[in-house]
């Protein structure tokens, strides 16, 4: 077996993490075709296939999976060692990539703005994606999600206030339909359905007096965007299931009317989550400490 260099392993690691030549090429600053050629040369030197290339994407062979599992911790340790040098530079610096759903933007963006003001040497990229994403394989430092969506092997800390749901409709809607008294009455209303990127519909969740309900509503309109759901409700397309803070301005000026409020208790809001590692990248550590410090609550 010919000599394998650390740069060869870094190429394989990027491909294995992203499961994509195109995304790995962007990370490494080369073309996808050049990266594919480099991997082929590595496989020839090792005399073993590491990656299965198909029309649907990139997958690891059994040998590739084993190599990935063995070298990834070592590269993380190298990254940690280099990041650890940042403490000698006086303040955190570097890039920070976070994945977040669109619903978290009202919570996250004010925090990000204050954090970047406090740490001008840090660059942050927020990728908005409602699909559940593997932050590690996706090349993210951290993610934002509700607690029940976070894998058990992640470290999670609360970010932002508690959340509450608002079931809302336009005044015109309630001229045509009576206000629902219980969630079961929703079957008599056209509702604006929400479809996740996975293709499944969201079942509206309710709770009162220890009773928990999930209602699969029906309606002629299905959307996958909160802004469009809000606008559709204001325009009289049906009842919408929105975050309270999102609907509040329209509730105050009368464009929307709220129902079933007693079935919508407060619940824990969003969480910042990240992999459990012995040492965190300096920029991520600074952001975690900033969230924990309570400075974000100050206006």
Of 278 and 246, the one with more pLDDT: 246
Quote the pLDDT of residue 92: 80
Answer yes or no: are the C-beta atoms of 62 and 106 closer than 8 Å. Answer: no
DSSP state string for 263-296: G---B--EEEEEE--SS--HHHHHHHHHHHHTGG
Q: How far is CA 226 from the centre of its chain?
A: 15
Taking only the tens place, the pLDDT of each residue in 164-192 is 999 999 999 999 999 999 999 999 999 99
Q: Which residue has the higher pLDDT, 47 or 296?
A: 47
CATH class assigned to 6-84: mainly alpha
Residue range 95-112, pLDDT digits in tens? 899 999 888 888 899 999
* Architecture in CATH of 165-263: 3-Layer(aba) Sandwich (3.40)
Contact yes or no for 163/269 (Cβ under 8 A) = yes
pLDDT-wise least confident of 5-19, 34-48, 74-88, 269-283 = 74-88
Mean pLDDT of 60-68: 91
Q: 91-160+269-297, what's its fold?
A: D-Maltodextrin-Binding Protein; domain 2 (3.40.190)
- Judge whether 260 and 180 are in contact, CB under 8 Å: yes
| Domain layout of the chain by residue ranges | 6-84, 91-160+269-297, 165-263
Compare 212 and 160 and report the one with higher pLDDT: 212
Mean pLDDT estimate for the chain: 87
Token code pair at residue 27: 């990370």
Mean pLDDT across 25-40: 88
> Helix, strand or coil for residue 51?
strand
φ/ψ bin of 295: left (φ > 0), alpha (ψ from -120 to 50), beta (otherwise): alpha
Residues above pLDDT 90, as percent of the chain: 46
Q: Which of the two residues, 147 and 167, has the higher pLDDT score?
A: 167
**Angle in degrees, 0-180, between the axes of helices 6-18 and 21-28, rounded to the nearest 10:** 130
Chain segment 217-263, per-residue pLDDT in tens? 999 999 998 899 999 999 999 999 999 988 999 999 999 999 999 99
71-87 confidence digits (pLDDT tens): 888 887 777 777 666 66
Query: Is 156 in a helix, a strand, or coil?
Result: strand
Task: Evaluate if residue 116 carries a pLDDT over 90.
Answer: yes
Residue 297 has pLDDT above 50, yes or no: no
54 compared with 161, residue with greater pLDDT? 161
**Which pLDDT value is given to residue 299?**
36
pLDDT tens for residues 120-141?
989 999 998 887 777 877 788 8
Mean pLDDT confidence for 28-39: 88
- Cα–Cα dist 31/28, whole Å: 9
Q: What is the pLDDT of residue 298?
A: 40
Domain 6-84 matches domain 91-160+269-297 at the CATH topology level: no
Report yes or no on whether pTM surpasses 0.75.
Answer: no
Look at residue 220 in the predicted model and tell me its pLDDT. Answer: 96
Alpha helices (H) along the chain: 6-18, 21-28, 32-46, 62-84, 105-118, 171-176, 226-234, 244-252, 282-293
What secondary structure, in 3-state letters, does 54-85 show?
Answer: ECCEEEECHHHHHHHHHHHHHHHHHHHHHHHH
């Amino acid at each position: 077996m010919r000599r394998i260099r650390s740069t060869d392993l870094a190429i394989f690691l990027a491909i294995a993490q992203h499961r994509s030549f195109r995304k790995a090429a962007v990370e490494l600053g080369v073309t996808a075709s050049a990266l594919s050629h480099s991997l082929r040369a590595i496989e020839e030197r090792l005399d073993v296939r590491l990656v299965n290339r198909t029309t649907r994407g990139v997958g690891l062979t059994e040998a590739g999976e084993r190599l990935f599992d063995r070298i990834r911790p070592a590269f993380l340790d190298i990254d940690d060692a280099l990041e650890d040098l940042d403490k000698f530079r006086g303040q955190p610096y570097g890039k920070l990539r976070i994945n977040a759903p669109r619903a978290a933007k009202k919570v996250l963006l004010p925090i990000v703005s204050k954090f970047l003001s406090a740490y001008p040497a840090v660059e942050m990229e927020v990728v908005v994606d409602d699909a559940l994403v593997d932050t590690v394989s996706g090349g993210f430092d951290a993610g934002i999600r509700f607690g029940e969506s976070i894998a058990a092997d992640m470290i999670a800390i609360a970010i932002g206030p508690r959340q509450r749901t608002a079931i809302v409709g336009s005044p015109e809607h309630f001229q045509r339909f009576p206000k629902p008294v219980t969630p079961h009455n929703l079957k008599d209303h056209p509702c604006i359905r929400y479809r996740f990127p996975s293709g499944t519909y969201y079942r509206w969740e309710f709770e009162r007096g220890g009773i928990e309900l999930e209602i699969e509503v029906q309606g002629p309109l299905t959307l996958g965007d909160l802004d469009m759901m809000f606008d559709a409700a204001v325009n009289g397309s049906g009842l919408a299931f929105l975050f309270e803070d999102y609907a509040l301005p329209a509730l105050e000026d009368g464009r929307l009317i709220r129902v079933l409020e007693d079935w919508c208790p407060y619940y824990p809001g969003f969480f910042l989550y990240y992999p459990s590692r012995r040492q965190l990248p300096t920029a991520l550590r600074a952001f975690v400490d900033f969230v924990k410090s309570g400075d974000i609550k100050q206006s």
